[in-house]
A = this chain, B = another copy of it.
Amino acid sequence: MTQEANDTFDIRVPSGTDDPLSDAEIRRYREEIDRLDRVILDAVKRRSEVSQAIGKTRMGSGGTKLVHTREVAIINQFRQEIGEEGPALASILLRMGRGKLG
């Protein structure tokens, strides 16, 4: 687990009806979701920038913009780690990394 994703507090998952989160916990958990959204958005933006820089170099040197095997490996990694939503999330990142084609 990377530092940034896990550097705050342990999450208590209620088991059912007799141990609900308190209002204070719910506020804190919402703030944590906002913080994690910030981490995700910033990482996605930077990833796109880095990927586009590589793509430009490949195209400039007559190569293809995409490396299919690497893209397939990333999709498989995301499926393995987060399940059925993995491929869709990976595909979004890959599309953003290609930037505007042409």
Contacts and interface: CB of A to CB of B under 8 A. Distances in A.
A69 interface: no
A96 B81 CA distance: 13
A56 interface: yes
Nearest to A46: B5
B1 A42 contact: yes
Contact of A29 (B16, B45, B50, B88): B50
Interface string A63-79: 00000000000100110
B85 A95 contact: yes
Interface in A10-42: 11-14, 16-17, 20-21, 26, 29-30, 32-33, 36-42
Contacts of A5: 39, 42-43, 45-46
Interface of A: 1-6, 11-14, 16-17, 20-21, 26, 29-30, 32-33, 36-54, 56-57, 60-61, 74, 77-78, 81-82, 85, 88-89, 92-93, 95-97
